[in-house]
Amino acid sequence: MRAVQFPIAAILIAALGGACQAQPTPQDAATAAGLPFAVTPVADFTAPWAMTFLPDGRMLVTEKAGQLMLVSADGKTKSVVATVPGVSSEGQGGLMDVVLHPDFATNRIVYLSYSTPGEGGKGVVLARGKLTEGAAPTLEGLTTIFTATPFVAGEGHYSGRIAFSPDGKYLFFTNGERQKFDPAQDPKATLGKVLRLTPDGKPAGDPALTAKGFHPAIWSYGHRNLLGIAFDAQGNLWEQEMGPKGGDEVNVIVAGRNYGYPIVSDGDHYDGRDIPDHDTRPEFEAPKVSWNPVISPGGLIVYSGKMFPQWQGDLFIGGLSSKALVRVDVDGTNARKGDQWDMGARIREVEQGPDGAIYVLEDGRGDSQGRLLKLTPR
């Protein structure tokens, strides 16, 4: 495996006569770049989007074009489980999240989200199938169990993140507003919303909203492009989303609440039009943390491992345009900015390994189309 290259590391090597020096090990490169962890490449993929760990330490990784990969714990062996039919990978679309059923050890059910064409344009769907292994791994009976509404033209802001509630009774699913603004406030559309479903895809939204005539799956609304969602140990549901020109957000999701987009935002429209800030409209839920300039958040975990005990309970977010790994300090339901580490590549996904290591997926750099990196203490 190749050593991780970082700009600062390259400068130091050149200053020491880099042509005559050995290339740095991953830990040397991390040290030179000022990172508080060693960075070890594990595997290469083609435009990876999301990942999850199986109980035995192996991984499932989605690739944007539609392939679901089964990967050994050491990253040396990769097998195609399925090429998902109907995936539309243009623009921001593709095969997106992958999450295991809470009872995966007994039922082997895997959930996927992806963008697909349909009446009216394109949209994001939630599907599930059974991981079966024998001569070759397969995903049996893959079936769509929920479909965003409406389908619209365009290639952006699908979202499609999945998280199970701690008790395993509900599945939370994010639908982006598809760069159409107003659907985020439309009570009949699932776009721009956090949805709550049963594990078989039936709507189970906030009863108070349903009683007001909202789509029965809606849990919260007024969101933009929701690319991370995760529960903490206390049962709080954290969410991050890309804002417009500025105003990336971290929120605590509360049933029935309106988070304000596009009426309010800590950013502005890309054409320069002003959007009032959250503090001008206190009836909307304000973010716990926001960024301007943006980090372009991708992926989210609440860290609970023992490998980095100083960060237990904190949020880790991938940074796309910022090419960063971002840590957010959490205190109950309050949060503040922590660290932002330059990773030298767009970080699409963050996941916690069974041993407490932090894993990140890159969008790609150099000859790689997207590496899986393991971060460990140094």
Question: One of 101, 157, 215, 278 is an active-site residue; which one?
Answer: 157
Query: Distance of alpha carbon 69 from its chain centroid, rounded?
Result: 17
Q: How many whole angstroms separate alpha carbon 2 and alpha carbon 363?
A: 17
Encoded amino acid at 93, one letter:
G
Strands across the sheet containing 171-175 = 159-164, 171-175, 193-197, 218-221
Helix (H, G, I), strand (E, B) or coil at 79: strand
Annotation marks residue 157 as catalytic: yes
Facing residues of 23 across strands?
none
- The torsion angles phi and psi of 302, rounded to 5 degrees, stand at -100, 115
Give ∠ CA 59-248-115 in degrees, rounded to 5: 50
Q: How many whole angstroms separate alpha carbon 378 and alpha carbon 376?
A: 7
The residues near 240 (Cβ < 8 Å, ≥ 6 apart) are 226, 227, 228, 229, 248, 249, 250, 251, 297, 300, 315, 317
Residues assigned a catalytic role? 157
